[in-house]
Structure 1
Amino acid sequence: MDIPIAPLAEEQLNHLHAALRITSDSVRQETALVRDAILVPHADCACRAPDRITWPGAWIETAIDAAEADDLALVLIHSHPGGLFAFSDVDDVSDRHVIPGLFQALGPLHGSAIMTPNGAVRARFYAPDTQARAVDLVSVAGDDLSFWWDDCARSNDHLARPLAFTGAMTRELGRLTAVVVGVSGTGSIVAEQAARLGFGRVIMVDFDRVEARNLNRILNATTRDAEMRVLKVEMFAAAIRSHRAGDVPVPVAASVATREAVLAASAADILFCCVDTLEARHIADLISVAFLIPFIDVGVVIPVRKAGAGMAIADVCGRIDYVQPGGSSLQDRAVYSPESLRAEYLRRAAPEAHRQELEAGYIKGLIEEAPAVITLNMRAAAAAMNEFIARAYPFRLDANALYARTQFSLAACEEEYVAEANFPRSASQAFARGAAEPLLGLPMLKLPSPARSA
């Protein structure tokens, strides 16, 4: 469900991050996505007092007009400058007057929310019967990752964010879901970390099977797995079940470029992209922006050079990109381009045409991902998971905005960082479209037409 927020007090703009996901039931099966915010100018507010704010109803008409085309819902949000992280009696009275009018205009669901000066958001939804239903979790994905739980608000613990690397962090991770796309060299290590750190669910997406040549790089893989050609995700799910009780692993034996995988990934709170194709990275970009899920992309490469009659290692490199919805994408960061996507497709689907265009100079040579080297993979995978922890449970001395990309060279013993502000940022038509058809805006993922009887 896509939701424009309206109206929002003007001074709260600095607290509103690019993406805000609202999960509205205890089994995490329904998520609302914030597509847009309509801000009420300060000058239009007729009354501003410590316990109330009044603004013209014309702004609701503006929001209704904006939502009507796609039959979106509205959430009315305002600030509690005194820090009250609860709905006041004044809020209840206001909702009883305003919310019924929204149902007369559009949609089967609308809501209200409050925000405190530290950026914490608490929300509730109303059905047409005007019964309020609390939102279990409001998450904000920006340079930092914030999670605001309704039950913590009721216990007055909403300000006590867990410290990194503590049991409190583990307990909160038990309420979150990670998806790992690609369960091979780096992906198997990331999935292992996610399971042992305590994520409540670890969704694994990979269509491939274990082979003998994989055994030097995939954690938990055995010779029997290779002999039986076991699916990588099934092998790893069994490994997780050996040390975690419950339904923690969710194996998805499919390419990420399928409806099944995209819809499975849409349930995650964080996505780890551990793949060796540009197409899969492109899909991760689209999942992130469509479902407002932050993701971390991992890449390793070992470039070589000629050395006399032989070859020598030129460098041993790793790259970790943190991508936030509404921020710079992997395409913005030149990890891939339309031209490189086309070249990859030709190499796979029409190798002779790819060779001819490469020789003719129409396609630049692609950098191949390095064959798995477990020490390099572990270095990169650990950096990827620590990047998530640094965002969700900040511990860096400097702002996380400075670390949108981390690159390391083992040969030069160097580590470099690029800030989010240093990358271009392009708008996406897929922003907060959720599961609208066609999925991710890609015709190849559209819902199959029902079979017709003869």
Structure 2
Amino acid sequence: MAGSRHKLMLRQPEIILRLTATQHDQLKRTLFPGDGKESVAVALCGTHRSAQRTVLSVHRINAVPDESCTERSAVSVVWPTEPQVPLFSEGARKKMVVLKIHSHPSGFPRFSGLDDKADRALLGSLLKLAPNEIGHASAVMLPEGKIFARLLGGEGRFSKIARVVVVGDEIVSFEDSRSIKGALFDEAFLRTQQAFGARTASMLSKMRVGVVGCSGTGSWVVEMLSRLGVGELVLVDPDVIERKNLNRILNSVASDAAAARPKVKVFARAIRRLGLGTKVTSYQTDILQRKVVHSLAGCDFLFGCVDSADGRDALNRVAAFYIIPYVDVGVLLQADGKGSVQQVCAAVHYLIPDGSSLLSRRVITAEQVRAESLRRRSPDQYAALRKEGYIQGVNVDSPAVISINGFAASHAVNEMLARIHPFRRDANGEFRAQTFSLSDGAWLRIEDGPVCPFLSKRTGRGDCEPMLDNSELS
């Protein structure tokens, strides 16, 4: 009987389509030229597959010129596919998914019979010419910008894409409203629902959030996310609890330090004891491992609570390649070790996949990334070069205090909430980079940096070799 119940619980992987706000705006301009007739575009999508999720991320969009279409009306569009053959060929070569998206100017909220016929013809042909394990996709945009989508697999059946997520200064999730109304209510999250509404509470319960770095700042982030009702956490940290950590890592106790328990295991234990239903996947390693990147690629949001430049760069790459919003949080406490404090400050950065990066914002440098990569791969060579003065400006251990870590982490988590439930009076775009100086009493919004020339070209690329275009992960 238990076996039967287990079989009944098995579900097909959820299918998610992600695109950036810039891509969404591009599509809306293309698909709604203002004449009340249907228009169409095609796109290449990167992919990510796991047992729980199939994720498509829009990589590049080709508009089909309206003047090239042989027929356009309020309910149909007929367009030539020949000019798109190079894109189809590229998709086949790179094992990417082709997405066809057209408009419904009338606002018709479903795929029509004409859509069914056209999709089977186009996507069915693509499955023969550019076969892959996932299939190819079709989507419709409505005048208000809502998108719904589906996937045609190799077996010739349509599968509904459960969520279409737009990642920008706000994170917009298009999904069936019935899934929100049908969500089970837990009184433990009553206050969250009262503050942010049922939709946001439901969104949190479905989110898979990655937290890389589970020490001082990360421990606060994990605690707050689990109590907000986030559905699943992916925790990444290579270290164990030491006695010097007990002053600032939540849920750690002296026996954890004595037993040298992994930080991620201590948090997994705490979340289970909390009993609010948050699932935990943990990795006692650093981010630059294939299995870790693969797991983070399926997340809906990422938090970076690490000091290392190469770790922060890797997280920035994951966010761009798989179109995931990313918050980087850091703390700096400068002290002389004798009780005198020169500076106490924190920084919270919100990064959009096709926007600026930590490198283009000059938060980290390429030299720091190279140096720390060398330190991890070849400690002896790194030590020799540093001794000779060839390596400078790398991070060293600095003082850490629980109250400062908690302050920074609270701002980071509130930054996530502001993106999924905009509550600010000023535009979210003005809060992409913020610094807080507790010693000076200053709270500053910093001007965003330029679009990252490297990552912007890789937005939505998804799985590829070498992974993240990083030879260390090949």
TM bucket normalised to smaller: 0.7 to 0.9
Mapped partners of 1:21, 1:393: distance in 2 = 27
- Greater displacement, 431-440 / 184-193: 431-440
CA RMSD after TM alignment: 3.4
- The answer on 1:42 being equivalent to 2:66 is yes
- The answer on 1:417 being equivalent to 2:445 is yes
Amino acid in structure 2 at the alignment position of 1:313:
V
Mapped partners of 1:117, 1:22: distance in 2 = 27
Percent identity (aligned): 32
SS where residue 165 of structure 1 aligns? Answer: helix
Alignment of 1:300-319 (within 5 A): 300-304=331-335, 312-319=340-347
Question: Of 50, 71, 81, which aligns to 1:57?
Answer: 81
Alignment of 1:235-250 (within 5 A): 235-246=266-277, 248-250=279-281
Mind listing any 5+ residue stretches in structure 1 that lack a counterpart? 447-454
Mind listing any 5+ residue stretches in structure 2 that lack a counterpart? 1-14, 34-40, 184-192
Deviation per CA, 1:318-375, whole angstroms, max 9, x where unpaired? 11111121211111111222212234456672464344343xxx54434656422111
Question: Of 146, 158, 176, which aligns to 1:120?
Answer: 146
Alignment of 1:375-390 (within 5 A): 375-390=403-418
Change (3 A) 1:244 1:287: same
Question: Of 267, 273, 279, which aligns to 2:304?
Answer: 273
Alignment of 1:17-416 (within 5 A): 28-108=52-132, 109-150=135-176, 152=178, 165-246=196-277, 248-304=279-335, 312-345=340-373, 349-350=379-380, 352-358=383-389, 362-366=390-394, 368=396, 370-416=398-444
Give the C-alpha shift of residue 312 in structure 1.
4.0
Change (3 A) 1:117 1:419: farther
Change (3 A) 1:30 1:382: same
Amino acid in structure 2 at the alignment position of 1:268:
C
Change (3 A) 1:45 1:291: same
- Greater displacement, 131-140 / 162-171: 162-171
Mapped partners of 2:53, 2:209: distance in 1 = 15
Amino acid in structure 1 at the alignment position of 2:453:
S
Deviation per CA, 1:389-413, whole angstroms, max 9, x where unpaired? 1111112222222221111111222
Give the C-alpha shift of residue 298 in structure 1.
0.4
* Structure with greater helix share of residues: 2
Amino acid in structure 2 at the alignment position of 1:128:
G
**Correspondence for 1:449:** none
Q: Is the 8 A contact 2:233 2:278 kept in 1?
A: no
Mapped partners of 1:384, 1:267: distance in 2 = 21
Change (3 A) 1:38 1:417: same
**Correspondence for 1:11:** 30
Mapped partners of 1:156, 1:118: distance in 2 = 25
Amino acid in structure 1 at the alignment position of 2:149:
A
TM-score with structure 2 setting the length: 0.81
Change (3 A) 1:313 1:13: farther
Deviation per CA, 1:228-254, whole angstroms, max 9, x where unpaired? 111111111110011235461212111
**Correspondence for 1:426:** 453
Give the C-alpha shift of residue 123 in structure 1.
0.8
Give the C-alpha shift of residue 41 in structure 1.
2.2
Mapped partners of 1:19, 1:139: distance in 2 = 16
Mapped partners of 1:8, 1:320: distance in 2 = 31
Q: Is the 8 A contact 1:289 1:325 kept in 2?
A: yes
SS where residue 145 of structure 2 aligns? Answer: coil
**Correspondence for 2:186:** none
**Correspondence for 2:38:** none
Change (3 A) 1:332 1:82: same
Q: Is the 8 A contact 1:19 1:292 kept in 2?
A: no
Tell me the matched-pair count: 431
**Correspondence for 2:12:** none
- The answer on 1:442 being equivalent to 2:470 is yes
Change (3 A) 1:342 1:156: closer
Give the C-alpha shift of residue 281 in structure 1.
0.6
Mapped partners of 1:51, 1:104: distance in 2 = 28
Mapped partners of 2:84, 2:297: distance in 1 = 30
Q: Is the 8 A contact 1:317 1:409 kept in 2?
A: yes
Give the C-alpha shift of residue 54 in structure 1.
3.1
Mapped partners of 1:135, 1:424: distance in 2 = 30
Q: Is the 8 A contact 2:59 2:458 kept in 1?
A: no
Mapped partners of 1:406, 1:21: distance in 2 = 31
Amino acid in structure 2 at the alignment position of 1:379:
F
Give the C-alpha shift of residue 117 in structure 1.
2.8
